[in-house]
C-alpha cells in the first residue's frame, strides 16, 4: 500500500527557509574560515618578516661587536708589542751602557786611575764598587 504524504504550502516555505539559513550559515562559516586563514597567513608572514629582520639585526649587531672586539684586541696586542719592543730596545741599550760602564770601571780599577765621568761612577756603583 502506498502512502502519499500531503505537503502543504507552509511546509515548503519552511523547508526553503531552512535551506536558505543553512546556505547562509555555510557561506558565513566558509568566509569566516577563509578570512581567518588569510589573517593567520598574513600574521605568519609578518612574523616571518619580523623574525628575519630581528635575526638580520642580531647578526649585524654580532658582526659589529665582533669586529669592534677584534679591532680593539688587535690594537691592544699591537700596543703591547710596541711596548715590549720599546722596553727590549731600551733594555738592550741599558745593557750596552752597563757593559760599557762596567768595562770602563774595570779598566779604571785595573789601571788604578779614577773614573773619568759620572757615567763611569754610576757603572761602578752598579757593580758594587
Tell me the three state secondary structure of residue 7: coil
pLDDT for position 78: 86
Cα angle, residue 77 at apex, residues 72 and 78 outer, rounded to 5°: 95
pLDDT for position 12: 66
pLDDT digits (tens, 9 = 90+) for 67-119: 888 888 888 888 888 888 887 776 667 777 777 766 666 666 666 665 556 66
pLDDT for position 127: 54
Q: Which of 93, 103, 89 is nearest to 126 (CA)?
A: 103
Distance, CA of 121 to CA of 102 (rounded, Å):
9
Helix (H) or strand (E) holding 106: helix 9-111
The residue to which cell 566558509 is assigned: 30
Amino acid at each position: 500500500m502506498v502512502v502519499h504524504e500531503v505537503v502543504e504550502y507552509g511546509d515548503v516555505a519552511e523547508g526553503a527557509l531552512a535551506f536558505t539559513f543553512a546556505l547562509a550559515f555555510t557561506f558565513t562559516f566558509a568566509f569566516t574560515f577563509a578570512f581567518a586563514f588569510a589573517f593567520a597567513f598574513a600574521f605568519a608572514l609578518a612574523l616571518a618578516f619580523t623574525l628575519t629582520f630581528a635575526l638580520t639585526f642580531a647578526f649585524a649587531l654580532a658582526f659589529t661587536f665582533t669586529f669592534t672586539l677584534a679591532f680593539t684586541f688587535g690594537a691592544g696586542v699591537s700596543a703591547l708589542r710596541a711596548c715590549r719592543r720599546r722596553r727590549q730596545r731600551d733594555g738592550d741599550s741599558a745593557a750596552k751602557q752597563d757593559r760599557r760602564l762596567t768595562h770602563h770601571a774595570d779598566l779604571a780599577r785595573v789601571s788604578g786611575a779614577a773614573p773619568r765621568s759620572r757615567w763611569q761612577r754610576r757603572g761602578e756603583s752598579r757593580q758594587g764598587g
